[in-house]
C-alpha cells in the first residue's frame, strides 16, 4: 500500500508543470497553481469559469488595474458570499482598502438585484496605531503599514473608493477606525463578513459586535488568519472562537473560515 501511494505521488508530481504567472495555468493539464503563497497540483479550473473571470477582473479594476494574483483567495470569498446570499441578512467587510474582494463579490452576485446592504468599513488611510496590540507591534505592524502606504498598496484617498462602488445600490461606505465606527452598522441580521484589518484588536472588536447579529449559517472569512506574519490575529481569533464553542477552519490560501452554527 505504501509503495502504491508513493508511486501515485511520483506519477502525479512527474506530470506537474510550473508556468509563469502570466499564463492561465488552469488550462494546462497537469499544471501547478503557484500564486499568493499557495502551491497546488490539484484542479483549479474555477479560473476558467466566465463568472469567476468577470468578477475577478472587476476586483482588479477596483485597484486601478493591479492584479495581485489572488485567484484562489477570491475564489474562497466568492464561494462563501454565494452561500451567504441565500440567507437572510446583510454583508459586511471590515478592511476594504480599494475594494478588490467586495467589488468582485458584488459583480458576481449582481448586487443591484439583491435586497441586501453591503457595509464597507475602513480607515481608508492604513492602520490606526491606537488599535494595534503589543503582539502586532512585535510582528512589524508599524513597518508593514508604512511600507504598504508608501507603495500605494494601501489607499489614503477615499474618493476613488467611492467612485468605484458608485455603480451599485445598497452600499454603505463607513470611514474611520474600528471599533469606533461599528455602531454605524444598523443591520440586525448579518449573513456574511470579511475580516481583513491586519491587526488583532479591531478584528476582535468587529467579531464581538457582529457575533450576535450573525444569522444561523452566516459565513465569516478571515483574510489573514493562517499567515505566519500575522500570527497574533490567529491567536486572538482562536481565543474568540473558543470562548463561543466554535473553531475556525484554516485554509492553505492563508485565510480562515467560520460558519456560525445554529443556536450559537
| Domain-wise residue ranges, the chain | 26-259
Superfamily, domain 26-259: Vaccinia Virus protein VP39 (3.40.50.150)
Confidence tier at 4 by pLDDT (50, 70, 90) = very low
Mean pLDDT, to the nearest integer, of 227-251? Answer: 96
For 149-158, the CB contacts below 8 A with 24+ separation are 153/97, 154/97, 154/125, 154/126, 155/97, 155/98, 155/124, 155/125, 156/124, 156/125, 156/126, 157/124, 158/124
pTM of the model: 0.89
pLDDT at 11 over 60: no
What tens digit of pLDDT does each residue of 225-235 get?
A: 999 888 999 99
pLDDT at 2 over 50: no
What tens digit of pLDDT does each residue of 164-208 get?
A: 999 999 999 999 999 999 999 999 999 999 999 999 999 999 999
Confidence tier at 8 by pLDDT (50, 70, 90) = very low
The string of DSSP codes covering 93-119 is EE--TT-HHHHHHHHHTTGGG-S--EE
Mean pLDDT, to the nearest integer, of 249-259? Answer: 98
Amino acid at each position: 500500500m505504501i509503495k502504491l501511494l508513493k508511486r501515485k505521488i511520483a506519477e502525479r508530481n512527474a506530470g506537474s508543470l510550473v508556468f509563469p504567472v502570466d499564463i492561465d495555468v488552469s488550462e494546462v493539464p497537469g499544471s501547478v497553481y503557484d500564486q499568493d503563497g499557495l502551491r497546488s497540483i490539484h484542479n483549479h479550473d474555477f479560473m476558467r469559469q466566465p463568472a469567476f473571470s468577470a468578477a475577478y477582473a472587476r476586483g482588479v479594476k477596483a485597484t486601478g488595474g493591479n492584479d495581485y494574483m489572488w485567484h484562489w483567495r477570491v475564489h474562497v470569498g466568492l464561494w462563501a458570499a454565494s452561500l451567504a446570499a441565500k440567507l437572510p441578512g446583510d454583508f459586511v467587510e471590515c478592511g476594504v482598502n480599494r475594494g478588490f474582494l467586495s467589488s468582485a463579490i458584488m459583480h458576481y452576485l449582481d448586487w443591484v438585484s439583491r435586497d441586501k446592504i453591503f457595509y464597507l468599513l475602513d480607515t481608508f488611510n492604513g492602520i490606526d496605531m491606537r488599535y494595534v496590540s503589543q503582539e502586532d507591534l512585535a510582528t512589524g505592524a508599524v513597518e508593514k503599514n508604512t511600507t504598504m502606504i508608501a507603495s500605494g498598496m494601501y489607499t489614503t484617498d477615499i474618493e476613488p473608493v467611492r467612485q468605484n462602488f458608485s455603480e451599485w445600490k445598497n452600499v454603505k461606505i463607513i470611514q474611520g477606525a474600528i471599533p469606533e465606527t461599528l455602531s454605524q452598522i444598523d443591520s440586525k441580521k448579518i449573513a456574511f463578513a470579511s475580516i481583513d484589518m491586519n491587526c488583532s484588536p479591531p478584528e476582535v472588536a468587529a467579531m464581538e459586535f457582529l457575533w450576535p447579529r450573525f444569522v444561523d449559517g452566516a459565513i465569516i472569512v478571515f483574510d489573514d488568519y493562517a499567515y505566519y506574519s500575522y500570527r497574533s490575529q490567529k491567536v486572538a481569533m482562536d481565543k474568540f472562537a473558543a470562548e463561543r464553542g466554535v473553531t475556525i477552519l484554516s485554509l492553505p490560501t492563508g485565510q480562515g473560515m467560520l460558519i456560525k452554527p445554529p443556536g450559537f
